[in-house]
Amino acid sequence: MATDAMTRSSGGDAPTPSALEALAGAAYRPYWLDDPGRPRPRPALVGEERCDLLVVGGGYSGLWTALIAKERDPDREVVLVEGQEIGWAASGRNGGFCAASLTHGLGNGAARWPDELAELERLGHRNLDAIESAVERYGIDCDFERTGEIDVATEPYQVAELRETARMAAELGVGEQEFLDRDAVRAEVDSPTFLAGLWDRRGVAMLHPAKLAWGLARACAELGVRIYEHTPAERLAGAGAGMAVRTPYGRVRARQVALATNAFPALVRRVRPYIAPVYDHALMTEPLNQEQLDALGWRGRQGLSDTANHFHYFRLTADRRILWGGYDIIYRYGGRVRAEYDHHPATYRTLAQHFFRCFPQLEGVRFSHAWGGAIDTCSRFSAFFGSAHGGRVAYALGYTGLGVGATRFGAEVMLDLLAGERTERTSLEMVRSKPLPFPPEPVRWAGIGITQWAMTRADENGGRRNLWLKAMDKVGLGFDS
């Protein structure tokens, strides 16, 4: 492991020879992007462009912004620039969990915006409905399945936490969340590690993340959005009554700009302290045969996640593979984001070991792909919003691993801010407030390291949070992926 990497790993839990053997043939590239239907990239911008709205970033956040901007005003000239290729970063590397939650779960929302939680849940479910509608309306073939998600308890103390979340959901009247005891959860998906579950039946959809991004880009282009790939935005500056963004081979002059750069350095420098890029990793199995699927009993095709601080997320794909990701959280000193950080063999070994512990009946299954990518975590675990340059620039950042669905809401917030409108979204305290910024280096590095250690200790000690974590909770400063 590189000396500048801060990670939580398996604490000496060495992988078995069979787990290592399962990794032997894995390709080091994202499964979702390794697709024969991947579209050819569009040309880079050369020369000068002019438009009403420039969107910087070709992931979900930018694509939804461009699409909704054209839906609101078909005559608006919209340009989108992407530094690499559409869906290349987090939007093509995530687990494909499209959640209604805008607050990174009920617990986090209740701790930070208790008075707004019911409204935030209502808006989140409406947002997920709108995503489902857009997928259908634009004919986006992204394996969209609204099968829900089961949060599973793998330690006794987590059972009580799931019961409490079920109670809170019932009080708010949001979704269809059902507590499952040990026998009930194992009847849905069979693992000897599962002690209980909480099934959110309608609040989460499963999808193919890269195909969603590619489909959104096609829909944008059909509405008249001009898209340029391999066109990084290098500098943002005022230009008369509008803004100008410099690119390697040209410039875009725009009346307004929406920044959708997420884990990458923001063009508005004062925003950068609010983001700590962290690396998350995942494995994908080979396709399972019918006997292997029958051994799991996973007929409902729900997504799953355990509920530890360092958690795993896992789901079935359309071609009957299992994606298994999460657990380690890797931070690089200085918040650097580089392609060479995408892969971390030590994490792959840990994930493989944990996979076979969860599903011993799948002994002998091989992994076909292993990959990682950067997440734009912030200290409140959910997105924050703002404007700059006299309201001509808007941004939405900090989704902390839950952006597949929430980025569409963030796109609407950015467009509201650029329009100068007071809406039900911009009136929210969640939208009007900011998280606490992370401290500068080396304090950031040290603080993240202590927090990682404390979270590990909590996982190993019945969820009991030590004085450090309690202090962080009190001031509202957290760290997650």
pLDDT value of position 478: 66
pLDDT value of position 1: 32
Does the pLDDT of residue 3 top 50, yes or no?
A: no
Give the pLDDT band of residue 476 (cuts 50, 70, 90). confident
Question: From the centroid of its chain, how far is CA 282?
Answer: 13
Tokens of 467: 């004085």
In 290-402, where does DSSP find H-type helix?
290-296, 345-358
Does the pLDDT of residue 12 top 60, yes or no?
A: no
| 392 closest CA partner among 258, 235, 251 | 258
Rounded average pLDDT over 266-289: 96
Half-sphere exposure of 274 (CA within 13 A, CB side): 23
The span from the CA of 451 to the CA of 328, in Å, is: 13
Does the pLDDT of residue 174 top 90, yes or no?
A: no
Is the bond preceding residue 287 a cis peptide, omega within 30 degrees?
Answer: no
Give the pLDDT band of residue 288 (cuts 50, 70, 90). very high
Proportion of the chain above pLDDT 70, given as a percent: 96
Backbone angles phi, psi at 47, to 5 degrees: 95, -155
481 versus 89: the higher-pLDDT residue is: 89
pLDDT value of position 381: 93
Please give the domain boundaries of the chain with CATH numbers for all domains: 17-148+202-438 (3.50.50.60), 439-480 (no CATH)
pLDDT value of position 175: 63
8 versus 314: the higher-pLDDT residue is: 314
Give the pLDDT band of residue 17 (cuts 50, 70, 90). confident
Backbone angles phi, psi at 187, to 5 degrees: -75, -25
What size, in residues, is the chain? Answer: 481
Residues whose CB is less than 8 angstroms from the CB of residue 330 and which lie 6 or more positions away in sequence, other chains included: 5, 6, 7, 278, 279, 280, 281, 341, 344, 347, 372
Rounded average pLDDT over 388-401: 97
pLDDT value of position 10: 44
Does the pLDDT of residue 11 top 70, yes or no?
A: no
340 vs 264, 330, 369, CA distance in Å?
15, 13, 17
Average predicted confidence (pLDDT) for the chain? 93
Does the pLDDT of residue 481 top 60, yes or no?
A: no
The span from the CA of 362 to the CA of 94, in Å, is: 23
Does the pLDDT of residue 2 top 70, yes or no?
A: no
Does the pLDDT of residue 122 top 90, yes or no?
A: yes
Does the pLDDT of residue 149 top 90, yes or no?
A: yes
**pTM metric for this prediction:** 0.95
273 vs 280, 376, 384, 472, CA distance in Å?
20, 11, 13, 17
152 versus 446: the higher-pLDDT residue is: 152
pLDDT value of position 329: 87
The span from the CA of 445 to the CA of 323, in Å, is: 30
| Contact status, residue 344 vs residue 281, Cβ threshold 8 Å | yes
146 vs 98, 131, 216, 232, 286, CA distance in Å?
9, 11, 19, 35, 23
Proportion of the chain above pLDDT 90, given as a percent: 84
